[in-house]
Amino acid sequence: MGNSYGYVRVSTREQNEDRQMVALGKIQIPKRNIYLDKQSGKNFERPMYHRMLEKLKPDDLLYVKSIDRLGRNYEEILEQWRMLTKEKRVDIVVLDMPLLDTRRGKDLMGTFLSDIVLQVLSFVAENERENIRQRQREGIEAAKQRGVRFGRPQRPVPEDFAQICKKWNKKEINGKEAAQLCDMSVSSFYRKVRGWIEGEFMMEGNEN
């Protein structure tokens, strides 16, 4: 019997890995044998994952909370599963799916059934993520059509912004001084100035 390891992944540094860590803690995996990556699963360029691979030996046992912790791409999940079980010759246990436990059914039929379940679950996981992304895109588009604005709210310009712009335009003050008077960065000042100039032109056009 080899050593037991656990692998944990969250997609961003803001996400919390506690749920996965608690699940691995219940089966008493030593903390030194738990490897954690905080980055996207779009590829397998993950430092702790690769460090774990270097440690794994034949007959070791790897636990993951769910199949999508291995990655977010159907083909890559299958490739990593094949590499772990065939090349590294380690067993894998997916805690959320008891059927995905390579310690069971070592005969041909057991391996065949495990492979089928893996392919189906990997496809379902990827398909669900794509559905979520599609719903997010549709939700954002619907919100935009309702007039919802995304991003940081615009800071209001000071009441004397027009006078400051005129001083800057007459070269009585430079851009940095004008930005300081407006309590904003230089780049923000120039961006606001463009809007102010466009507004002035529109007013002149209406007067004509």
Give me the residues paired with residue 4 across strands. Answer: 61
Residue 93's beta-bridge partner residues?
A: 63, 101
Residues 38-76 as b/e (b if ≥16 CB within 10 A, e otherwise) read ebebeebebebbeebbeebeeebbbbbbbbbbbbbbbeb
> Which residue in 71, 125, 74, 118 sits closest to 92, CA to CA?
118
11 is catalytic: yes
* Catalytic choice (11, 40, 66, 188): 11
DSSP secondary structure code for residue 5 in this structure: E
Strands (E), 53-196: 61-64, 91-94
Distance CA 77, CA 64 (A): 13
Q: What is the DSSP string of 27-86?
A: TT--GGGEEEEES-SSSS--HHHHHHHHH--TT-EEEESSGGGG-S-HHHHHHHHHIIII
Residue numbers annotated as active site? 11
